[in-house]
């Protein structure tokens, strides 16, 4: 399941409790934080991958910088790129991810990407993530049509439209979120609690590889430092350790899927001990609804 932030539901509990800053330790591309940004609070996030950190910085930390017309135009080409010239991602054709034409364009765009810096670089990653997602559709839906390469220009312009100033100095941190958690000062923590996982999704893997500029993404540090990608017993210990590092943050808003985690953690998870559970709400009908759960817990 993708992250499905519940900012309005969470905000009903967070706003009355004097929350002016929110931290998401495993922010991914920062979609949850971006949803909270509109409430005018300071948003802080951290992540391990370069691609997700770049994207989150461009949309959350960045309040004013947009891709210039010249930068957007640089991703166009006078002649259609050829795979024999732009060979960087040729192996993705052999693995069935993309056509030869698509792989050539991805290589061409990666060379244009080198000229960008700072938030502009991140906005290009946002657009490239959308492009890769569109081109992967036939793998999930045989017969689905893909956008042509000119769609990247539209995606780049759309990424620009997402930039706006919420009047805060927002911070996106890159590094091990478990290690960073203790040093982050925020009124509330918002976390999508994942179940134990084996590998990242293909879209994330390909986008990270594209940003790294290589056909095989180097994810060694990511898997080593991410508690959600660990054997079950290690997962329990490492997730509990994460919450211990977050203990200084007085309000926790935790989202998860009940069918994935209820059996794993029980009715009252160990990481909630010492906290007052002030809200627990399903996104569904009735007291026995399953699916997305949001719980809000306070430090006494």
| Mean pLDDT score, 257-272 | 84
Q: Is residue 8 over pLDDT 80?
A: no
- Residue 249 has a pLDDT of 97
- Residue 285 has a pLDDT of 44
Instruction: With cut-offs at 50, 70 and 90, classify the pLDDT of residue 260.
Output: confident
Average pLDDT of the residues of the chain: 92
- Residue 149 has a pLDDT of 96
Q: Between the CA of residue 210 and those of 129, 144, 157, 167, what are the distances in Å? A: 9, 23, 20, 32
Q: Is residue 287 over pLDDT 90?
A: no
Q: Is residue 25 over pLDDT 90?
A: yes
Q: Is residue 288 over pLDDT 60?
A: no
Query: Mind listing the pLDDT tens digit for each residue in 221-232?
Result: 999 999 999 999
Q: Is residue 7 over pLDDT 90?
A: no
Q: Is residue 138 over pLDDT 80?
A: yes
Instruction: With cut-offs at 50, 70 and 90, classify the pLDDT of residue 101.
Output: very high
Share of the chain above pLDDT 70, in %: 95
Lowest mean pLDDT among 112-121, 164-173, 274-283: 274-283
- Residue 121 has a pLDDT of 98
| Mean pLDDT score, 48-52 | 97
Q: pTM for this structure?
A: 0.92
Q: Is residue 152 over pLDDT 90?
A: yes
Lowest mean pLDDT among 6-20, 111-125, 203-217, 274-288: 274-288
Q: Is residue 39 over pLDDT 80?
A: yes
- Residue 2 has a pLDDT of 40
Q: Is residue 84 over pLDDT 50?
A: yes
Q: Is residue 65 over pLDDT 90?
A: yes
Q: What is the spatial distance between Cα 126 and Cα 156, in angstroms, rounded to a whole number?
A: 8
């Amino acid at each position: 399941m993708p992250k499905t932030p519940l900012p309005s539901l969470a905000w009903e509990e967070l706003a009355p409790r004097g929350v002016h800053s929110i931290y998401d330790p495993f922010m991914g591309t920062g979609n949850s934080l971006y949803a909270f940004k509109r409430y005018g609070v300071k948003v802080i996030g951290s992540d391990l991958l370069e691609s997700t950190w770049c994207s989150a910085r461009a949309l959350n930390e960045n309040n004013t910088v947009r891709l210039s017309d010249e930068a957007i135009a640089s991703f166009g080409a006078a002649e259609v790129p050829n795979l024999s010239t732009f060979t960087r991602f040729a192996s993705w054709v052999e693995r069935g991810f993309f056509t030869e034409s698509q792989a050539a364009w991805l290589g061409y765009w990666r060379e244009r990407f080198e000229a960008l810096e700072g938030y502009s670089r991140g906005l290009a990653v946002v657009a490239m993530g959308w492009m890769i997602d569109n081109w992967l559709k036939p793998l999930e839906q045989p017969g689905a049509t893909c956008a042509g390469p000119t769609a990247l220009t539209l995606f780049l312009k759309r990424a620009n439209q997402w930039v706006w100033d919420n009047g805060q100095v927002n911070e996106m941190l890159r590094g091990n979120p478990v290690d960073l958690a203790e040093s982050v000062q925020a009124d509330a923590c918002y976390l999508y609690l994942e179940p134990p996982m084996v590998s990242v999704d293909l879209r994330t893997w390909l986008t990270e590889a594209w940003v790294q500029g290589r056909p095989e993404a180097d994810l060694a540090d990511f898997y080593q430092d991410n508690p959600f990608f660990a054997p079950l017993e290690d997962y329990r210990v490492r997730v509990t350790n994460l919450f211990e590092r977050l203990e200084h943050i007085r309000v926790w808003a935790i989202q998860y899927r009940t069918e994935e985690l209820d059996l794993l953690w029980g009715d009252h998870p160990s990481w909630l001990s010492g906290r007052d559970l002030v809200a627990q709400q399903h996104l569904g009908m009735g007291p026995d609804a399953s699916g997305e759960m949001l719980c809000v817990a306070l430090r006494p």
